[in-house]
Chains A and B, each alone.
Chain A
């Protein structure tokens, strides 16, 4: 697969006293048809990176090449093939859905007829075709998010930069959006840079994940490999009697735990679970429910954020 977005040593320093380095020399590439997840805690530099990739924020140093062309010199030309959707920006509130799509389609050089032809199937797919004459103020947050996605895909982009695109959607619509994105990748070879705080979604969609911390890329791998770096599983027990003893055992073994009433959740290496349960039985501690949770991307995220 060819690299269609290449970022080299991208840096953003906001002037001030002292200056603030928001993104610190990051380098990565995005291949055709690839879905790349951008993860990190709030303030890690995800949104700053996306805005530099859109040109709504200039960068201090480094290079961005879209389709082999320097973004700084060819901003308008390359953005013709790049779409953006974010839950955190609005569309003109007093304009109807139809008018909004008409305006944004034209900003990408589409004619009125092309806009009409392309928008209807998308509006139908996202369940807002019957609301075309409603103004944005009349839409719910979920409908607004769907409109933002219609706007983004109206232009049939080669790259989509999606900043938490499903944040305000209910689970079934979020799922529908995810399957739409996968479909776009399959049919159109669409590449995506995707940020989300929904780790199950990221795990499902992304081929590769960049983890940002304090403006630097601290991990760049496929989701499965990132999860493998977590050696601990989570053991959940509902204790009938002897919670104090269980807590004492956890403290003695220096295990991380949290308990709420009769439920206790302990983190330990998978190989230690069986001996621990035997020890509980020998100590006469009885429990009704047992659940062993394998590490997930969410665990990886939490572990990295804690660091």
Chain B
């Protein structure tokens, strides 16, 4: 069972940090820069290809990719916070269970994804008058699926961090980007070389981005894409959590105090 008070404590532990200026800037600054840079580029490209919706495809891809990245970041970087603060022992010397920590960071992840999404959608609309809600309600299941994909990457990165320590901290930032080229965020899977396409179809993110482009081309909601993505996500999430538990137990065997 999960003790909700303890999970709420975990949520607050990182939420209080989030209220600091640098954390807010971190949440909004990079998406804003991406939207400005890529938005201007694609709007300019669209002037040479009238009638295409390249700007909407790229900007929706950008906002959606932020969800994957944010899902990963909230798990792996919040774990790293405990390393940076020499607080890992303090935290797990309490009655807190690992599953309660996981529940707390996942709650925070949902909250931050929501803020990042709202910011991205409003910012794109204000700058380029493009409405990401063109996707309709399909928007919501896609967001949920991408967030879960981000969690999967986050748990894998967190497993490496809890097992090996801070020397693997770059994974917290980099790991999501390793999947970006194969996820066909801005281009169709067919644009990838044949060998890369095999990898792409193993990723739950690919089905979402393909589905997103399909809707933007005017097709109905691609239920099959959503279903496959959901199935893959559930399998990968279960696996990644199992790996995280295993790495955490192995790390306890060596002693969490070795990181302090």
Contacts and interface: CB of A to CB of B under 8 A. Distances in A.
B16 A103 contact: yes
A84 B86 CA distance: 15
Contacts of A79: 93-95
A93 B12 contact: no
Interface string A81-102: 0001010111111111001001
Interface string A30-63: 0000000000000000011001001111100000
A164 to B, nearest CB: 13
Interface in A97-131: 99, 102-111
A153 to B, nearest CB: 14
Interface string B95-126: 11100000000000000000000000000000
Question: What bracket does the count of chain B residues touching chain A fall in?
Answer: 20 to 34
Nearest to A136: B85
Contact of B85 (A14, A84, A93, A110): A93
Contacts, number: 109
Interface string A67-87: 000000001110110001010
Contact of A80 (B10, B95, B253, B257): B95
A77 B16 CA distance: 27
Nearest to A111: B5
A88 B260 contact: yes
Which one of B8, B89, B91 has the highest number of Cβ atoms from chain A below 10 Å of its Cβ?
A: B89
Given A47-B257, A91-B87, A92-B81, A55 B6 contact: no
A199 to B, nearest CB: 24
Given A84-B93, A90-B87, A104-B94, A56 B12 contact: no
B236 to A, nearest CB: 28
Contact of B94 (A48, A96, A107): A107
B253 A109 contact: no
B211 to A, nearest CB: 40
Nearest to B22: A94
21 contacts: A51-B257, A56-B89, A56-B256, A58-B249, A79-B93, A80-B95, A89-B90, A89-B257, A90-B85, A90-B86, A92-B85, A93-B85, A95-B13, A104-B90, A106-B5, A106-B6, A106-B9, A107-B6, A107-B95, A109-B5, A110-B5
Interface of A: 14, 47-48, 51, 54-58, 75-77, 79-80, 84, 86, 88-96, 99, 102-111, 151
Given A93-B85, A94-B85, A102-B9, 4 more contacts: A51-B257, A55-B252, A58-B252, A89-B87
